[in-house]
Amino acid sequence: MSITLPSGFSFDYDNLCNENAVTAEELAELAPKLKEACEAIGVMRKNGVIRGHLSKDGTPEKVLFSQLPYIADDHLNSEATLAHLAELTDSVRNRVDAVVSLGIGGSYLGNRVLFDVKCGEFWNSKTAEERGGMPEIYFSGQNIDPRRTRDLINHLKHKAAISRSHRKRELTVLLLVISKSGGTLDTMSNFMVVYDELKKCQDISIEVVAVTDPNTEKPTLLKKLAMEQGWPQYSVPDGVGGRFSVFCDVGLTMAACVGFDIRQFLAGARAMDEACLTDDVMKNPALLNAALKYLAGEKHGRDLEVMMPYGDYLKSLSEWYIQLLAESLGKGERRSGEQSPYGRTPIVAVGTTDMHAQTQQHQEGKLNKVVQFIRVADWEEDYVVPDVFPSAPKLSEIAGVTMSAALEVARAANAQALKEGGRYSAVYTLPKLNEYHLGELMYMLALSVAYEGELADVDAFNQPGVEAYKRIMGPGLKAAKEIK
C-alpha cells in the first residue's frame, strides 16, 4: 500500500499498516483527532497561528514555515528574495575561492543536506571549472572543537600560500555566518576565532555574509555588526524555527553558493504541500505518516525511530531529520497542562552500511522501533559489477548486476526480514536524487511533525528543553572565564 504523487514520489506504508502492525481499525478510530489536526494545520497555513504556541520569551508567535514553498510578494520567499540569493551566486562565482558556512542546528544540518545532495564528498577536490566556477565549501560552528577549528584554519592558510605562489594572488574566503541573534555560542566562538586568524594572514582576503534577524528597529548583535561592518545580509525570519529553516535564506544561502536549483527545491516542497491539503488521510502523505507513527508509539510501544536512507549522500538528511523529530515532538508537557512526556527517540542509520552494524538490533532487539527507509529509484550514474576475477566463483556470482540494483535488493531484503520478525517499517521513494524530489521529502517530513504535534497535543514548534540548558550555560561560561 502506498501513496504516490504525480511526480513519482511515493510513501509505502505496507509494513507499517496491516493486521500485524497498526491496523485499519485503529486508524479509523483516530478519525476525530485527524479531523482536528487538519483543521489546526489549515489555520496555520492561513494565518500562522498554532494553538497555544508561544515564543521562548512567552509571547504569541506565528508559525510560518508552511508559507515558504510559495513565492509571493507578501511571503518570506518572494521574487525579490530569490533575486537577492541570485546576487550571492553571482558574487561568489569565479571570484570567491572558499566559503566557510558557520551555523549549528538547523543552520548547519539543513545546509549540509543541500550541499551533500548537490556536491558530494569530493567537491573541494574538483577544479573551479569542474565546479562551474563555484567555491569550495567548508563547515564550521557546529561544535566548539579547538582541534578541528585549528585544522580548518591551517588548511585555508596552506591553500592561501599555494594561491600566492602559483596564481600570484590572495585566496578569497567568505565566511557565511548564520545566527538569528548573533549570540549563539557554538557558531560565534568559531566565527570569531576563524575571522581573527584568517584576518592575520596576508595571503587571505576575507569577506563576511551575515544571515540573521532582519529587524532594524531592535537589531540583534549580529545585525548590528553587519550594519556597522557593511556586510551583505540575509534573513533568519521570525516564525521559522531552525529545524524548518532549510526552505528560507538560512538554507538557501548555501544553495546559492553551490548552484543548487532553489526554484526546483521550493517547487517540490510546494507540490508536497498541495498534495497534503486534503483531509483524506489515505491521500495525504504527511498526515498518514504522522498518524501511523503516532499510533505505532501510543498503541504498540514503538518509541524509537530509525531513519535509514540507502545512499551515502543522504546520511545528512537522516541527521537533519533527527533534529526535526527530537525538537518538535520530544516534549514533557501536553498543551492541556498534563505532565505526560511524548516523543520517539530518533536514530541515524545508512544502508547498506548499518545493515552490518545496527540491523542485528533492529531485527532481534526490543520490539520498540519503526524503521524508515529512503530509496532512490533511478540513480543518475550507475555501474555494472564486472566479472574481473572469474577464477573466484563467489565473486562471479555478484557480477553482472548494477550497483543500484544490488542496493535495492539489500534494502528490500532488510524490509522483508523486519516484516517477518514483526518489526515495523516504511519507505519513501524518490524517483531521482535531485532538488525537486528532495524538496518533496523534506517538506513532507516537516509537515508530518506539525500534524503529529496536533495528534499528541504537544507544541511542535517550541523547544523548552533547549532553553533549559542554555540558562545553565551562561553562568558556567562566566565561571570558566574567571578561572582562566
Task: Give the model confidence (pLDDT) of 364-375 as tens digits.
Answer: 999 999 999 999
Return the top range by mean pLDDT from 106-110, 162-166, 182-186: 106-110
CA 275 to chain centre: 21
Whole-number pLDDT of residue 476? 67
Residues whose CB is less than 8 angstroms from the CB of residue 174 and which lie 6 or more positions away in sequence, other chains included: 92, 96, 98, 99, 100, 135, 206, 207, 208, 209, 257
Give the separation between CA 290 and CA 293, rounded to whole angstroms.
5
Which pLDDT belongs to residue 482? 58
Q: State the average pLDDT over residues 457-480.
A: 76
Q: Which of 33, 75, 419, 470 is catalytic?
A: 470
Q: Where are the alpha helices (DSSP H) in 58-202?
A: 79-92, 106-118, 146-162, 185-199
CA distance 81 to 68: 11
CB 96 within 8 A of CB 174: yes
CB 17 within 8 A of CB 24: yes
109 shares its domain with 218: yes
Are 18 and 85 in the same domain? no
C-beta separation of 223 from 182 below 8 A: yes
Pairwise CA distance, residues 403 & 433, whole Å? 15
DSSP secondary structure string for all residues of 406-467: HHHHHHHHHHHHHHHTT-EEEEEEESSSSHHHHHHHHHHHHHHHHHHHHHHT--TT--HHHH
The answer to whether residues 395 and 450 belong to one domain is yes
The DSSP secondary-structure symbol of 138 reads E
Does 325 fall in a domain?
yes
Backbone angles phi, psi at 27, to 5 degrees: -65, -40
Q: Please state the pTM of the whole predicted model.
A: 0.95
For residue 54, pLDDT over 80 is answered with yes
Q: Are residues 86 and 32 in the same domain?
A: no
Annotation marks residue 356 as catalytic: yes
Phi and psi at residue 79, in whole multiples of 5°?
Answer: -60, -30
Same domain, 41 and 87: no
CB neighbourhood size of 357 (10 A) = 11
Contacts of 454 (CB under 8 A, 6+ apart): 33, 36, 37, 40, 41, 460
> What pLDDT is attached to residue 483?
59
Q: What is the pLDDT of residues 102-118, one digit of tens each?
A: 999 999 999 999 999 99
Distance CA 85, CA 107 (A): 16
Q: What DSSP designation does 385 have?
A: P
331 and 435 in a common domain: yes
Mean per-residue pLDDT for 151-168?
Answer: 95
Determine which one of 168, 218, 356, 394 is catalytic: 356
Containing structural domain, residue 168: 77-236
pLDDT digits (tens, 9 = 90+) for 351-362: 999 999 999 999
303 and 391, same domain (yes or no): yes
Radius of gyration over alpha carbons of the chain, in Å?
23
Write the CATH number for 322.
Answer: 3.40.50.10490
Domain tally for the chain? 2
Q: 201 and 103, same structural domain?
A: yes
213 and 274 inside one domain: no
Residue 450: HSE in the Cβ half-sphere, 13 Å Cα cutoff: 31
**What are the pLDDT digits (tens) for 3-27?**
999 999 999 999 999 999 999 999 9
186 and 327 both lie in a single domain: no
Q: Which of 61, 305, 327, 452 is catalytic?
A: 327
* CB-side neighbour CA atoms (13 Å) of 97: 17
Task: Convert the pLDDT of each residue in 315-340 to its tens digit.
Answer: 999 999 999 999 999 999 999 889 99
Please tell me whether residues 414 and 368 are part of one structural domain: yes
Query: Which pLDDT does position 466 carry in this prediction?
Result: 73
Nearest C-alpha neighbor of 325 from the set 289, 352, 300, 357: 289
Order of strands across the sheet that contains 345-348: 2-4, 10-12, 424-430, 369-376, 304-309, 345-348
Is residue 105 located within the same domain as residue 218?
yes
